[in-house]
Amino acid sequence: MQVPKIENWPQTAQDAIQLQKQLCSQVIPTDDFNEVRFVAGVDVGFENQGKTTRAAIAVLTWPELKLHETTIARQPTKFPYIPGLLSFREIPTVLAALAQIQTTPDLLLCDGQGLAHPRRFGIACHLGVLADLPAIGVAKSRLVGKHEPVDQTRGNWQPLIDKDERIGAVLRTRPNTKPLYISLGHRISLDSAIEYVMSCTTRYRLPETTRWADKLASSKIPPNPEKRS
């Protein structure tokens, strides 16, 4: 698919923060998409002691959740991991992976926060805005915000609150496991985000999209080894 070039990428934390404060106004927090046929999981892993960044995309059919296409991209790591600035470390390689994908996804499920971020611009927002695609933040742990205990029943959730603001939801996708931190990234409402995360989740804690992307991002084997890619 068509993706914008990475140019003027910030080199310092100060510049990155300034860019977040500028771009966060471009986030569309309401449903803005048509029929969903393909959902994609996005995940990033590292090789060579962190010197190489590896981004994986897994495109699945919806609602069947059958694997449709995968891709992996590798690039030198150029930004350190700083809480709140994760997207600057991972997005360049993710965009390279998206550029290789044949099937443009109708919805992205990103590993990390969306609006549930100190400046309301987590990686799901950043990627959604740059790729101009609906995106959801699916994080395995909390970055900011407080919440009440979440009932152990699958599908139950509690609002995630920060500074009297509802920034996301803490969702129980599976009983007796840690809940997921869901927040809108771009062109989707929080309610729809929760709905889609549930519809992409079967018997495991993580959505199928994320599970496939995780598997690819962790493997040192190229995608589609038995086919061509």
> Would you say 35 or 164 has its CB closer to DNA?
164
Structure tokens at 55: 């981004």
Closest approach of DNA to the CB of residue 45, in Å:
3
Rule CB under 7 A: say whether 141 interacts with DNA.
Answer: yes
Work out which of 40, 59, 108, 123 binds DNA, going by CB under 7 A. 123
Per-residue string for binding with DNA, 38-67, x by CB under 7 A? -----xxxx--xx-----------------
Q: Is 43 annotated as a binding residue?
A: yes
Work out which of 139, 160, 188, 190 binds DNA, going by CB under 7 A. 139
Rule CB under 7 A: say whether 113 interacts with DNA.
Answer: yes
> Would you say 39 or 116 has its CB closer to DNA?
116
Q: State the residues that interact with DNA by CB under 7 A.
A: 43-46, 49-50, 81, 83-87, 111-113, 117, 122-123, 137, 139-143, 217-218
